[in-house]
Chains A and B, each alone.
Chain A
Amino acid sequence: MLGRNKSDSGQVLSGMKAKHQRYEALVKAFHADIYRYAFWLIKDQSIAEDVVQETFLRAWRSLDALNDEKAAKSWLITILRRENARRFERKQLDTVDIDDCHIQDDTQHADGDLKDRELQRLLGGLSLEYREPLILQLLFGFSGEEIANQLGLNKNTVMTRLFRARNQLKEALEKQNEQRGRVNG
């Protein structure tokens, strides 16, 4: 009886240990890209970090619900999107008009060389509905179908948005080059 209890608690302990290892593996594998996703969604470093922390806390608490390691990425993205949405609910409760708030756009301060900074500024300038699918595609290598599943849209809508996103970026770049050309010439 005692012996069995002992081995039971041993199993619980090793179960806990396995859960910790699993969580740490999850953090190591995904925290960077999940943070970048949050950053491009929110465009503010510190808010993005907060949301990522909330996300991983939720992930830890419901880690047992994650059965398929392959699904981990999209599972985390789902949690993060929910956490981000909650942020807006909270904001609304505070009855602050979102338009009155000057949200600092950190995308312009992001590091990188000139070319990167320019692209970052343009990416940050895309509206969220175009920006989000593009980021899912570029950051996580999601297919159109996977993006559609993740965002709850149909695939055609997603493909259209992806097309428009790149189209807008290209047009903006060409416009800049024209202006620069004119100034230089």
Chain B
Amino acid sequence: MDELEFRRRIYADPETTDSDVVEAAKEDESKRSFWNEQKQFDKQLKQALKVDVTEDLASKLIWQQSADEFTRYKRRSRWYLAMAASVAFTVGIGLTMWYHQPLSLGGQALAHMQYAEMEHAHSLLPVDLNMVNAKLASFGGSFSEMLDGVEVANYCHLSTVRSLHLIVNTPQGKMSVFVVPERGDIRVPSEFKDSQYRGESIKMKRANIMIVGDKDADLSGIKKAVSERIQFSA
């Protein structure tokens, strides 16, 4: 191996273990010293390459990893949060729809009858045609002629539906007339009853009227009187 080739090989890799380089060095004293010189030079180069590393670099690298993990975890949990919110939203919608499903007022009217016994006029004014009509006005209705025997005229709530409750004294006993506004979410059965009372309803254009009396009472008379005398403006 000539001098130039030997130098090339040593310059390229002073740590070489290639047998031809090793052999060449064995045979030649000057090659050996050149090699040693190069090894020494490499040591110096390695030393020079070892620039200082910022003391806290390692901690920084570990810290940024946990920060990264944390933000990713947060992003992930935000995803879960969104999922939970979406589920809650669906449940909410479902509940609302369930809550808003048509109310059947027959049962409500019957239940209300339990209190009707104790009920008396909230107003001190006498129950006359004007007073009843004033209260009916909010439903857009009026009586052309007063019903006989009206004792009480109160607004009351059947579930969430505001209605006008008239308690009427008839030859058949006390009866209740409920005027209920027509609403999409209300269902008024044409007949209903329980162990004590029974009721029938009259469907009108803008309202439903429920008449509830004793379970044996004949409702036809008052039903006729109401439907003849009540009218609703279009």
* A residues with CB within 8 A of B: 20, 23-24, 27-28, 31-32, 35-36, 39-40, 45, 49, 52-53, 56-57, 60-61, 110-112, 115-116, 119-120, 123, 134-135, 137-139, 141, 143-144, 159-160, 162-163, 166-167, 169-170
Number of interface residues of B (CB under 8 A): 28
Closest to B48 in A: A119
**With a CB–CB cut-off of 8 A, which chain B residues contact A162?**
11-13
Is B29 in the interface zone, CB < 8 Å from A?
no
Query: Closest chain B residue to A165 by CB distance?
Result: B11
A138 and B45 contacting across the interface, CB-CB below 8 Å: yes
B45 & A123 in contact (Cβ 8 Å cutoff): yes
Report the separation of the CA atoms of residues A49 and B61 in the bound assembly, to the nearest whole angstrom.
10
B45 to chain A, nearest CB (A): 6
Question: Is there an interface contact between A123 and B65, defined as CB atoms closer than 8 Å?
Answer: no
Given contacts A110-B52, A170-B41, 18 further A-B contacts (CB under 8 A): A24-B62, A31-B53, A31-B57, A40-B49, A56-B64, A56-B65, A57-B64, A57-B65, A60-B65, A110-B51, A112-B47, A134-B45, A138-B45, A163-B8, A163-B12, A166-B12, A167-B11, A169-B41
Whether B228 is near chain A, meaning CB under 8 Å from some CB there, is no
**What is the CB-to-nearest-CB distance from A62 to chain B, in angstroms, rounded to a whole number?**
12
Q: Closest approach, in angstroms, between the C-beta of A125 and any C-beta of chain B?
A: 13
Judge whether A138 and B61 touch: CB under 8 Å. Answer: no
Does chain A have a CB within 8 A of B50?
yes
Which residues of B line the A interface, CB within 8 A?
8, 11-13, 15, 38, 41-42, 44-54, 57-58, 60-62, 64-65, 68-69
Chain B min CB distance to A22 (Å): 11
How near does chain A come to B107, taking the closest CB pair, in angstroms? 44
Q: Residue on B with the closest CB to A37?
A: B49
User: How far is it, in angstroms, between the C-alpha of A32 and the C-alpha of B64 when the chains are bound?
Assistant: 17
Q: How far is the CA of A53 from the CA of B61 in the complex (A)?
A: 6
The smallest beta-carbon distance between B181 and chain A, in angstroms, is 53
* B198 vs chain A, min Cβ distance (A): 54
Given contacts A123-B45, A137-B13, A144-B13, contact A35 B65 (CB under 8 A): no
> Are A159 and B49 in touch, CB under 8 angstroms?
no
- Closest CB in chain A relative to B109 CB, distance in Å: 50
Contact B60–A60 (Cβ < 8 Å): no
- Given A115-B44, A119-B44, A162-B11, does the pair A27, B49 have CB atoms closer than 8 Å? no
B contact residues around A53 at 8 Å (CB): 60-61, 64
Select one of B15, B52, B61 contacting A27, CB under 8 A: B61
Query: Does A35 contact B62, Cβ atoms closer than 8 Å?
Result: no
